[in-house]
Structures are given as C-alpha cells and as structure tokens.
Chains A and B, each alone.
Chain A
Amino acid sequence: MSKARVVIVTSSRNFSDINRPDPGIILTMLKKGLEALSGAARAEEALREWFRPGETVGLKVNTIGRRALSTSPETALTLGLWLGQTVGREENVIIWDRTDEELKEAGYRISTSPGSLKIFGTNNRRAGYQSEPTAHRHLGSLFSRIQAELIQASISLALLKDHGLAGVTAGLKNYFGAIHNPNKYHDSNCNPYIAELFETEPIRRKHRLTILDALRVQYHRGPAYHPQWLAASRKFIFSLDPVAADTVGWKIIEELRAKKGLPSLKEEGRAPGYLLTAEKLNLGQARLENIEIIEEEV
C-alpha cells in the first residue's frame, strides 16, 4: 500500500497582520504546497490535471467563527481566482458556506454576478437545500444544492480547529456545512457521522483536494474563538487524501496542546475516532505510519 502524502507549508515571513494575511504570501504558500503534493514542476500543471476547464469548482469554507475564526477570505479569494484563471474561468468557482450572513460576517462579499468569481451561501436565492432527503447509513439530510447540483468538483478549504465534541474539526467535518441538520450529528464525538457524510455521493465523488487553513489554530476549547488558546501557526496543510490531511491536522493540534501543557485529546476523551472510521470506509489513511509528511517553508 502506498503512503498518503500530506504537505505542510509554513511561512517564515511574519504576516504584518495575521488576521488579514497578505495575498502575495498566501499565493506563494499555495503554489509551494501543490508543487510538493503533486511533484509537478509548476503548481498550475497540477491544478490542470486535477480540475477540468468546464467544471464548476466549489471551495467549501468554514465561517461559523465569523471574522475572528474562519477560513480567511484572503486565502479563499487568492485560491479561487488563481484556480479559476489557471483551469478555466473564475466564474466557474464558487466560494460557499451555509449562509450569506455567516460569509459576510467572516469578511466575504457576496458575489453572484455573471463573469466573476461567485461567493454565496446555501440560503442564497440561487441555491437552497434539495427537497428530498438523502439517506445514507446513519444519516438522513437535505443536501445544499451547491454541493449536490451546482458544482462538479470540490475543495474542502477548511479551518483547522480543536473541537469540544469531535476532537478536531478540519477538512472532513467542514462538509457538515453541506447538509441542513449538522446539529443532529454531534453526539458520540461525531462518530461515525463525519466519516459517513463524506462517503455520500455528492461529497465523495466530487471532493478532489483538502487544504487546511492553519494560519491560526484554535488548539483548545474550540470550535469557539478563545484568543488565549489561539496559535499563529502560519501553516497550510495539503492533501489529496482527506483522511490523512485531518490526521496530520490532529497531530499539529496535539503538538500545540503539549507545548502548552494541556492534556491530549485522548486524555480528554475526545480523540477524533471518526478518522479511523473513515479509514475503515476506505476514505483514506488515518495512521501516521501510513502517511508521508513533507514539510516546506517559504
């Protein structure tokens, strides 16, 4: 079995304002990450291999934490514009989450005009939820029409955070924002729900890439914003394996916790067991020994 590859890119440059990162630095980090991930000489080649010109690509961001703690708009916009221009047209990229309001509060500007990059929530007039529930294993949910109908390829552009129930929220759990009833799936550490949701057709078939925004990491008492436990990590994590990406995210959170003398997630009874469930469902690698980690600095 070949190992899953996960790339961690850390910026050595100091962001003048980590809350509003410089798009130039972000683009450099994104390029470096995708080159290391694909082995291609230029990141654009990799993008053209993974995404086709006619496809509409969804960038699922996480904006529950408002401006204080969301996938940074600078990151999403930089990636969206670059991806659009490289592969096809920028109007074929949709940056999205549950609601317009959450996106706005996180600093995004809603955009639905033809010819330009799209940014809107499922509750926007042009989207909504499907009217028939999708039943899959333990789940029964209405899917966002964005995930189920409007896009053909998907990037989980998630935020890496500690999570009081799931243990870790990252690329897989980000898709909770694609269904109408995520509040029903937080018991028993969100396990097996996070894994089973990823296994559903609208997600598994479309998901191509995980990018974790770990510029700042809430490593304790997440997913809510608590500045005293927020680390300026200046990292992005990349993988084609959605389970491996989150497994490495977990490792980073544990390292931050250990540095601060906090108990591990296992000790707190909230290790993200959904990762092993996901591995059992053949969604990816959940063991570090099966993951090749490449670290880069730019």
Chain B
Amino acid sequence: MDRREFLKCSLSGYSLCLLPGISAAGNFFPGSPQMGARLSRVEARYYRQLPDREIRCDLCPRFCQLGDRERGFCGVRENQGGKYYTLVYGQAASLNVDPIEKKPFFHFLPGSETFSLATAGCNLNCRFCQNWEISQMRPEQVKSVSLPPEALVTSCERYDCPVIAYTYTEPVVFFEYMYDSSLLARKKGIRNVVVTAGYINPEPLADLLRVVDAVKVDLKAFNQNFYSEYVRGELQPVLQAIKQIARSGSWLEIVYLVIPTLNDNPTEIRDMCRYLKNEIGPDFPVHFSRFHPMYLIKNLPPTPLSTLEKLREVALEEGLHYIYVGNVPGHPGENTYCPKCGKLIIERYGYVIRKKELSGNKCRYCGQVIAGVWS
C-alpha cells in the first residue's frame, strides 16, 4: 500500500489500515465473532500487590482493586495470579495519519501530520463517546495489529511524520505502550502528543510528562453531576491533571465538547473560564466543539452554532486568549487572532492551514508572543 492509499484508507475513521509488514492479529468487531485476537502479557506499572493474590491499580483515580483473573474497569488490564498485566502493549486497534489540527492541536506545529494510534479500552464510559467501537471494547473484541514500540517508531519514520499522537480511545489505559514508544520516538527526534480525558493519577502523569511534548485534555463539563451521570468519573482529578500539565512545561490544549442542554450552561462555562485563567493563565487554547449524536445519546441535536459562538464570547470576555469553535469547518472561530492587535494570524479551514502570519513565535503585525510550540 502506498502512502496515498494508506491515507485514503484512513478516512474510513477508526477502521484499520494495515501497514506493510504488519500483520493483523484478530478479526473481530461488533456483530462479527472474534478469531484469535492476541493479548499482550507485559507487566503493568503503578500497581501494588495485596494479600490473597489481589492487586490495586494506581494508574488512574478509579484505583481498581481486583482478585485473581479479574480485569479493571478499563478492560485492558488483568490480574493473573497476583501480578497485573497490560493486555494491549503493542496492540494497535486504530492507526492513521492525521493532521495535527484534527486532534485538535492548534498551537503545536500547525500543519504537521501525526502518526496516530490507539489500543482498545477506556477508563471512562461517556454516553456520548465518538469512538465507542474501540474505546468501550475489550482487546479481544476489536481488530488489532501488533506494533511494538520499535515498529511504531519505524513506521512513523517511514511515513515521514514528525509527531506520534496517542489518541482516539484513552491513552492512559495503554500507558506502558505509550511511555516506551515516546521514549524511543524522542531519541529519534519525533515528538509525542497525547489526547486524553485527563483521568490519571499525579505520579504516572508526572512520569509521562517527562517524555511527551503536548497534551490535549477533554474537559467534559465543569460540574460533578455531569461527570457522574454521563462520564462515570470525577471532575476533580481532571482539573488536577490540567494544572499539572500546564505547570510541567508540556504544551496543553483543552477541548470542551458542548452537548445541548447537558453541559452548555453559559454561567457554568464562565465559572470554568475564570477557574482556568486563575489556575493556568490565559494562554492555553480552549476549543468549544460541536457535538454530534452518538452511541447512547442519540436523542439530542447537534450543537447549534449560536451556542458555540456564545460560549466563545463568554470565554473571551473572561480574558482567555485563544478560544476556538471546533467541528465547524469554515467558521471564523477556527482562526487564531492576536490577543494584542486583534489581527488574524493563522487562518484555517477545517484541518487545513490557509495563512500563517507569525514570525517565529510572534505576531507579524505587532510582535506579540503567541503562546505555543511553533517549531
């Protein structure tokens, strides 16, 4: 398969594209039975052994405590005889070359292509998940290819991508695979970016931040009720993670998926923007993204444009510098404007950069430093 075919194949969403020299492991997807999926058996990190062959996983705020033969909430880690294993090390269930704007990162190497991958599994259970066919599955329930860290980095080089993106599902649950790959990629001059819901404990996050260059966090709402009802997680650890990333020196962008009637209250979003400005400053971008009915929430309409525009206004009023409207190709809210002179400095259409008026990291018109990683 040449590169064009590969990219074309990528357009079919998370459906799997097989790279040359990489063989498929399983052939199961929902509705079709499984055949011989491969599970890795690499010892997990961040867990402790308890009496009677039980373990406690310390990777994410769920702290799953499990007996022998049991799996955590994420479905991709298993206690086998008192030792904890990741079942998805080197098992890519989705593999594509995507523009970095699709993640989205708007202030990190604009226009770059990312070698993007995910394994099965997630430590949350969002009722509006856009990738549920892999995120809400166990590894033996999805197709995957064996792509250990070395092969991943080699493939990324072969496809000439300057960035690897750990994305689509929830990279926290394939931490070991992501960490080892990032370390290797970094040695080859490849950058690593992570797309996550930020549901991870401080210690593993600190380790991760030493090997990755940027993190996009999906902040799903600014109230615990929403997290309980629609996400099955907690808000506080996510806010902690956001602060930790912002203070680490890694680049951070935040995406807020706006779901009509469920998390679109402007007052609450104003509170959120105040909180963010206080805690991490005005310079990390926030994207308000349009929701499309999916998975278990099919009874709500796509987010009205007016809602997205209103929330963008609220955030700008609160003094945040870079506020975007997401999933609405062609909307002026996709562009970057200089926070000082107000001029359009990066023009986008969907994932395409049309114009870039930066010199180095500064606004070409007024010299204002534009926060981000530009080279």
Contact = CB atoms under 8 A, between A and B. Distances in A.
Contacts of A180: 30, 136-138, 141
B295 A183 contact: no
Interface residues of B, number: 32
A1 interface: no
B31 A140 contact: no
A142 B134 CA distance: 13
B132 to A, nearest CB: 7
Given A130-B31, A164-B65, A226-B52, A183 B72 contact: yes
Specify which of A99, A127, A183, A222 lies most central, judged by the most chain B CB atoms within 10 Å of its CB. Answer: A183
A82 interface: no
Nearest to B129: A140
A127 B31 CA distance: 8
A184 B125 contact: yes
Contacts of A123: 28, 33-34, 140
A65 interface: yes
Contacts, number: 79
A224 B33 contact: no
Contacts of B34: 99, 123, 128
B71 A183 contact: yes
Given A180-B141, A181-B75, A135 B33 contact: no
A224 B53 contact: yes
A131 B30 CA distance: 5
Majority-rule SS of B interface residues: loop
Most buried by B among A124, A181, A222: A181
A133 B296 CA distance: 8
Interface string B26-68: 0010111111000000000000000011100000001001011
Given A183-B71, A183-B73, A186-B73, A128 B32 contact: yes
A225 B70 CA distance: 11
Given A130-B31, A133-B132, A224-B53, A183 B75 contact: yes
B79 to A, nearest CB: 8
Contacts of A13: none
Nearest to A126: B33
Contact of B74 (A99, A164, A183): A183
B52 A131 contact: no
B356 interface: no
A140 B32 contact: no
A221 B137 CA distance: 27
Interface string B187-208: 0000000000000000000000
Interface string A113-151: 000000000011111111101010000101000000000
B362 interface: no
A167 to B, nearest CB: 14
A253 to B, nearest CB: 16
B127 A142 contact: no
Contacts of B52: 221, 224, 226
Contact of B295 (A133, A186, A224): A133
A223 B141 contact: no
Nearest to B122: A184
A276 to B, nearest CB: 21
Given A183-B72, A221-B67, A131 B296 contact: no
Given A180-B141, A181-B75, A183-B72, A131 B31 contact: yes
Nearest to B31: A131
B127 A140 contact: yes
A83 interface: no
A147 to B, nearest CB: 15
Given A131-B31, A181-B136, A64 B75 contact: no
Interface of B: 28, 30-35, 52-54, 62, 65, 67-75, 125, 127, 132, 136-138, 140-141, 232, 295-296
The 5 closest A-B pairs by CB, nearest first: A131-B31, A224-B67, A224-B68, A128-B33, A140-B296
24 contacts: A64-B69, A65-B69, A99-B34, A127-B33, A128-B31, A128-B33, A130-B31, A133-B132, A133-B295, A140-B125, A140-B127, A140-B295, A142-B30, A164-B54, A180-B30, A180-B136, A181-B136, A183-B72, A183-B73, A183-B74, A184-B73, A184-B75, A184-B125, A226-B52
